Amino acid sequence: MMNNLPVATRNLLLANIIVWLLDTLLQRYGVQLTALLGLHYWTADSFRLWQPVTYMFMHSGFRHLFFNMFALLMFGPVLEREWGVRKFLIYYAVCGLGAALVQECVWAIQLQSMLQTYVEVQVWHYAGQMVTIGASGAVFGILFAFGWLFPDVPMFIMFIPIPIKARTMVIGYAVIELLEGFSHIAGDNVAHFAHLGGMLFGWLLLLYWRKGKDMFRISLRRKKKNRSGDDNDSKFSDYHYQPRVD
């Protein structure tokens, strides 16, 4: 089965699984990879420059790993075959890094709020303990891209007896993450805003790519009209050009 997967998706799956196995093994000897590879607050002593990348390959347990890799397995190959290896990896990385940036901003807001209640020493001690791990931000970006490119594809979701469109699924996930992010449920240690950050940066990158594609189309139309010698018609066509909605 793995041999039938596109190269980038296959290697991302293997990398995540290998890191999880290594982390599980090292924990038996008292070594905590999360302290080194997980994403920490940027002013904490435990923060390292590589963590916005390495946190994407860390997972808190098998369940965490399974659901992230299952989503990557379901939607990653479709996008990779649509875009190619390079573009797919760029998108995956941007979503993961964007999720990390959003999480850092959320932590900063939380810490500033805590300063109004607790003394500064307590707040910065708490900041040193904050950490997030997982490929969820990048995976949520993958989900968003699938809904963007294939909005009308029917999807079957557990406990929902009828198929729903991919666009509806993505919107539903985003709304749920937003509500849970603001609800502050006791014991909830999920980085909901990081998930939304992956979607946000995925959306921004897709808009950037579409703008570039539209500008390329306009340039081709101008060259084609100029070669035909009909300058007036070229100007008129460019003025009334309507970009195709992908």
- Mean pLDDT for the stretch of residues 181-195: 77
pLDDT value at residue 229:
56
Q: Say yes or no to pLDDT of 23 above 80.
A: yes
Higher pLDDT, 202 or 162: 202
- Find the CATH number of the domain harbouring 93: 1.20.1540.10
pLDDT value at residue 237:
38
Evaluate whether residue 244 is within a structural domain: no
- C-alpha span between 188 and 208 (Å, rounded): 34
pLDDT value at residue 216:
61
Evaluate whether residue 124 is within a structural domain: yes
Q: Say yes or no to pLDDT of 203 above 60.
A: yes
Q: Say yes or no to pLDDT of 245 above 80.
A: no
Q: Say yes or no to pLDDT of 242 above 80.
A: no
Q: Say yes or no to pLDDT of 194 above 80.
A: yes
Q: Say yes or no to pLDDT of 231 above 70.
A: no
Evaluate whether residue 9 is within a structural domain: yes
Evaluate whether residue 245 is within a structural domain: no
Domain residues for the domain of 223 are 2-239
Q: Cβ(146)–Cβ(206) under 8 Å? A: no
- C-alpha span between 46 and 34 (Å, rounded): 10
Evaluate whether residue 32 is within a structural domain: yes
Q: Say yes or no to pLDDT of 91 above 70.
A: yes
Residue-wise pLDDT tens digits, 108-163:
998 888 777 776 767 767 777 899 999 999 999 999 999 999 999 998 777 677 88
In the chain, the number of structural domains is 1
Compute the mean pLDDT over every residue in the chain, rounded to the nearest whole number: 85
* DSSP state letter for 244: P
- Mean pLDDT for the stretch of residues 87-111: 95
Evaluate whether residue 207 is within a structural domain: yes
pLDDT value at residue 238:
38
Evaluate whether residue 246 is within a structural domain: no
Evaluate whether residue 125 is within a structural domain: yes
Q: Cβ(142)–Cβ(72) under 8 Å? A: yes
% the chain with pLDDT above 70: 83
Question: Reduced to 3 states, what is the DSSP secondary structure of residue 230?
Answer: coil
Q: Say yes or no to pLDDT of 167 above 70.
A: yes
User: In sequence order, which residues have a C-beta less than 8 Å from that of residue 185 and are 6 or more positions away?
Assistant: none
Both tokens of 44, joined, read 């904490």
